[in-house]
Chains A and B, each alone.
Chain A
């Protein structure tokens, strides 16, 4: 293939992509244009349903049975892909254009060893000999920073961690030295500390191999770390495009402004400067409004002007970035200060008496090994220590966040609290009673009522067979809040009003609702029994940024109204910093650090908290971060380290004491405790991870 240095790697012009379903043609992507130069990395941001993955599939010419490329051209290295034969396109996939998907486990074949899958790439695409393929695979595994590649080659996908799987997928994609790498949310399924490593790796490798990147994500913070340019997509079109600095510094489109307003940045404050969600929701492709698609949600909407014709994308003339383009008629009329509507400040909720107290709670799961060897050696029963000595308390109206990555035991803790599991040891006092060993069937109605839960997965939280109204009214009936059918009905409507959904939704089935709407119903259901304490297990992690902001604000409004205690379980430190009064940081079932939010997010840190803070991508170029990338992966809960659970990955490990002795809890200040062997004086000297830069880095 002849390559001219000036020919862009990918040139998309006026691309239109459609799906065909029962409802007819669904135009998923409308005249999409994009050019990616050699070695350039372009980010594609947008909320789910805006067509970003469809664009990636369109580039691969892999639209599935019901999709089709309706118009426009895709030129790859100067050649129109529509003119290539099916065979040529097939040979190109994986060789010249490689794709990395969100779920690494689904991208790897569980029946083949990693080595076989890696060697296949070069053998198929370049007819390499087996020895050569083997050598290349080893070399590539080494360059994606996998320790002991030789051993890994013989492993099967299920034997390695999610982060390593994604590294293998990246290695596989890069093996044939593609000119273009498409990454579709490559780190969304991974923990933040793992994500930080992968993102750094991707940025480094693309520089090293001069691969062009198309990085698809909903996370603006990640874009800042990887991309040169970004494209903001909304409802199937690009609404703004430009150099990364230019977009972050001077966003022009109201939607881009809106996205930034939804992100809890470090200087956001839930009382003084609440998040500002974008009102409304993404229109369905066949319900797009006339004129500007963002019109109905835009605060700068001008009737008669914005709703007439399709809005063309036009150049923004700035000296710094000639490529900055925006699809808005009024972009030069919008003052940066007005772009995000001001939200009213609120009074802080007063924290009342302690309602919930957890004291030395432990939860062990028994694992029985029934093998003969285990019986002979007498080690038939081992324990998974899901929760180890959890202690903290929560007052009325207080928000306590439990933070940790997957496998830290935060969901187990929620289950014990709700009575779905029984604690092995310790106490959970709700009011005056210890409910640690009271399974849900033995709890009184009053105990059940005062403790309710908001779940993580919006698609799982509601029963698909029952109407929304039935599901909420069942709670009201069950807890005896009302018994008269008409009054129950009124309460259901009142709850729908509270969660800002139309009353008509009471008749709907969950499948007729969007993710954010389902989550609102989940919140309405949790609050239907007027609980004293609500446990929210990752309530916003499956939602888009703008929807997450709205749900977060809603949750806090209702909390304020009912003076509810909120236990907010999350892995998202930005959200936690924003809304929690106090934070509990967990790792491998143990509490590493706990205290008031401001104390936990400032030195002295536990080394794990420090690493977590550093890993969170922040969508603000003014924020400077100290980079700490954790080595290795989470140890197995079946065989945790003897001493400090974090000792195996800790960058500040001081010696054998960390491996052998459980760290004591040291008090940094009143109600701020850190479980670490490092003397407090030394921890206090650590510099903050995040700082606001005076000058904007170029």
Chain B
């Protein structure tokens, strides 16, 4: 660092590729034990979801042996690790396949909500004035509704399907995301480098997307993990209310609804297992968010 003049005119070496820099950043998470536990849980669920066809021991929709407790031997010589449900379907397989659907729709929904929320937040925070007031008003109206009621209304109106769940989540979550982005944008827009961009005649969209958005990524990544957790709960809750992904394909919330009558009848595992899956995944996301926040606050 001191002898700057020595290598003044050297042509610099190639920098690390993007993935390597991201990997390096991700490795910082090692400093947070909580974050590592969270990341571990999430990664396990993601791997199970990706490799569901290989990992799941049975066809999730195939009735085999009704009302088996966890650990019961299966007719084909295997073991029902988590037991079977009232129709005789393997609960573990259903949880694995259900996890795939939950993760897929939660990611799709949260990402879509982010696109909408980010655009709204950037526009509101950058242009300010009446644009901001109008967008903030809309956001406040949506946020003032009880979210569950909102979901139920939307799904009940448009029918239960994966796409409608995505739509409902976007509708209900994007105002919250917009608020975060708007706040960060209001702050960043006062920085000198934004003035520098304006005075070389950059378009507002260039400034918003290239100059402002990348600097907002810190709080957004943490919020993304938290929001993945909320969306998982939402999908579970909608499934429980019968508004989730349509049967017979496995859905964690739906699994609980279908079997809750048996909880008091001596077969609690049928409902408890999927409930545990929801809790565990949400816990994973929350711990991951905590870890990211902890690491990002450290110097």
**Residues in chain A within 8 A of chain B (CB atoms):** 21-22, 279-281, 283-284, 287, 289, 296-297, 418-420, 440-441, 443, 445, 448-449, 451-453, 455-457, 460-467, 471, 474-475, 478-479, 493, 497, 500-504, 506-507, 525, 529
Closest beta carbon of chain B to A366's beta carbon, Å = 14
| Contact present for A502 and B8 (CB under 8 Å) | yes
* Chain A hits for B1, CB < 8 A: 281, 283-284, 287
| Contact present for A21 and B299 (CB under 8 Å) | yes
* Chain B hits for A461, CB < 8 A: 192-193, 196
A475 and B3 CA atoms in complex are apart in Å by 29
| Contact present for B211 and A443 (CB under 8 Å) | no
| Contact present for B199 and A462 (CB under 8 Å) | no
Count of A-B contacts judged by CB separation below 8 Å: 100
B59 within 8 A of A: no
| Contact present for A507 and B211 (CB under 8 Å) | no
A684 and B241 CA atoms in complex are apart in Å by 90
* Chain A hits for B195, CB < 8 A: 418, 420, 453, 455
| Contact present for A455 and B196 (CB under 8 Å) | yes
A457 and B8 CA atoms in complex are apart in Å by 25
Closest beta carbon of chain A to B235's beta carbon, Å = 33
- Which candidate, B9-17, B125-133, B249-257, is the interface stretch facing chain A? B9-17
**Chain A to chain B contacts (Cβ below 8 Å), 19 pairs:** A22-B298, A287-B2, A297-B2, A420-B199, A440-B199, A441-B201, A448-B201, A451-B199, A455-B195, A456-B192, A457-B192, A461-B192, A463-B211, A463-B215, A466-B214, A478-B200, A479-B200, A503-B9, A525-B196
With A280-B2, A471-B193, A493-B9 known, 8 other A-B pairs at CB within 8 A are A279-B5, A281-B4, A420-B198, A461-B196, A463-B193, A463-B215, A502-B4, A502-B10
A460 and B200 in contact, given A283-B2, A502-B8 (Cβ under 8 angstroms): no
* Chain A hits for B200, CB < 8 A: 448-449, 452, 474-475, 478-479, 529
A16 and B3 CA atoms in complex are apart in Å by 27
Closest beta carbon of chain A to B21's beta carbon, Å = 10
* Chain A hits for B192, CB < 8 A: 455-457, 460-461
* Chain A hits for B217, CB < 8 A: 465
Closest beta carbon of chain B to A627's beta carbon, Å = 36
Q: Which residue of B lies closest to A417 (CB)?
A: B199
| Contact present for B191 and A445 (CB under 8 Å) | no
Q: Which residue of B lies closest to A490 (CB)?
A: B11
* Chain A hits for B24, CB < 8 A: none
* Chain B hits for A497, CB < 8 A: 8-9
Picked from B196, B201, B211, the residue with its CB within 8 Å of the CB of A453 is B196
A467 and B211 CA atoms in complex are apart in Å by 12
| Contact present for A460 and B201 (CB under 8 Å) | no
Q: Which of B11-54 contact A (CB under 8 A)?
A: 11-13, 15, 31
- Residue among A445, A455, A462, A463 facing the most chain B CB atoms (10 A cut-off): A463
* Chain B hits for A466, CB < 8 A: 210-211, 214
Report the 6 A-B pairs with minimum CB-CB distance, sorted nearest first. A465-B214, A455-B192, A504-B12, A460-B192, A296-B2, A463-B193
A287 and B201 CA atoms in complex are apart in Å by 42
Q: Which of B105-156 contact A (CB under 8 A)?
A: none
* Chain A hits for B12, CB < 8 A: 503-504, 506-507
- Residue among A479, A500, A503 facing the most chain B CB atoms (10 A cut-off): A503
Q: Which residue of B lies closest to A477 (CB)?
A: B200
| Contact present for A507 and B15 (CB under 8 Å) | yes
* Chain A hits for B193, CB < 8 A: 460-463, 471
* Chain A hits for B202, CB < 8 A: 478
B7 within 8 A of A: yes
| Contact present for A22 and B299 (CB under 8 Å) | yes
* Chain A hits for B13, CB < 8 A: 504
Closest beta carbon of chain A to B105's beta carbon, Å = 31
A284 and B1 CA atoms in complex are apart in Å by 9
Closest beta carbon of chain A to B171's beta carbon, Å = 30
Picked from B2, B211, B214, B298, the residue with its CB within 8 Å of the CB of A281 is B2
* Chain B hits for A506, CB < 8 A: 12
| Contact present for B3 and A296 (CB under 8 Å) | yes
| Contact present for B201 and A493 (CB under 8 Å) | no
* Chain A hits for B214, CB < 8 A: 463, 465-466
A475 and B201 CA atoms in complex are apart in Å by 10
Picked from B4, B198, B299, the residue with its CB within 8 Å of the CB of A501 is B4
* Chain B hits for A297, CB < 8 A: 2
* Chain A hits for B2, CB < 8 A: 280-281, 283, 287, 289, 296-297
* Chain A hits for B211, CB < 8 A: 463, 466
A460 and B7 CA atoms in complex are apart in Å by 27
Picked from B5, B199, B201, B215, the residue with its CB within 8 Å of the CB of A465 is B215
Q: Which residue of A lies closest to B11 (CB)?
A: A503
Picked from A418, A441, A464, A493, the residue with its CB within 8 Å of the CB of B11 is A493
Picked from B8, B31, B199, the residue with its CB within 8 Å of the CB of A418 is B199
Q: Which of B183-213 contact A (CB under 8 A)?
A: 191-193, 195-196, 198-202, 210-211
* Chain B hits for A281, CB < 8 A: 1-2, 4
* Chain B hits for A467, CB < 8 A: 15
* Chain B hits for A289, CB < 8 A: 2
A333 and B222 CA atoms in complex are apart in Å by 60
* Chain A hits for B199, CB < 8 A: 418-420, 440, 448, 451-453
Closest beta carbon of chain B to A446's beta carbon, Å = 11
Q: Which residue of A lies closest to B3 (CB)?
A: A296
A572 and B13 CA atoms in complex are apart in Å by 41
A445 and B201 in contact, given A464-B215, A465-B214 (Cβ under 8 angstroms): yes
- Residue among B8, B192, B214, B298 facing the most chain A CB atoms (10 A cut-off): B192
- Residue among A21, A479, A502 facing the most chain B CB atoms (10 A cut-off): A502
* Chain A hits for B10, CB < 8 A: 502-504
* Chain A hits for B201, CB < 8 A: 440-441, 443, 445, 448, 478
Interface string of B60-90 (1 = CB under 8 A from A): 0000000000000000000000000000000
Closest beta carbon of chain B to A23's beta carbon, Å = 10
Q: Which residue of A lies closest to B194 (CB)?
A: A463
Closest beta carbon of chain A to B220's beta carbon, Å = 13
Closest beta carbon of chain B to A629's beta carbon, Å = 34
A440 and B7 CA atoms in complex are apart in Å by 39
A501 and B4 CA atoms in complex are apart in Å by 7
Q: Which residue of A lies closest to B195 (CB)?
A: A420
A194 and B235 CA atoms in complex are apart in Å by 62
Q: Which residue of B lies closest to A415 (CB)?
A: B195
A253 and B10 CA atoms in complex are apart in Å by 34
* Chain A hits for B196, CB < 8 A: 453, 455, 461, 525
Closest beta carbon of chain A to B203's beta carbon, Å = 9
Q: Which residue of A lies closest to B15 (CB)?
A: A507
* Chain B hits for A507, CB < 8 A: 12, 15
* Chain B hits for A448, CB < 8 A: 199-201
A466 and B12 CA atoms in complex are apart in Å by 17
A504 and B191 in contact, given A463-B215, A465-B215, A479-B200 (Cβ under 8 angstroms): no
* Chain B hits for A21, CB < 8 A: 299
* Chain A hits for B4, CB < 8 A: 280-281, 500-502
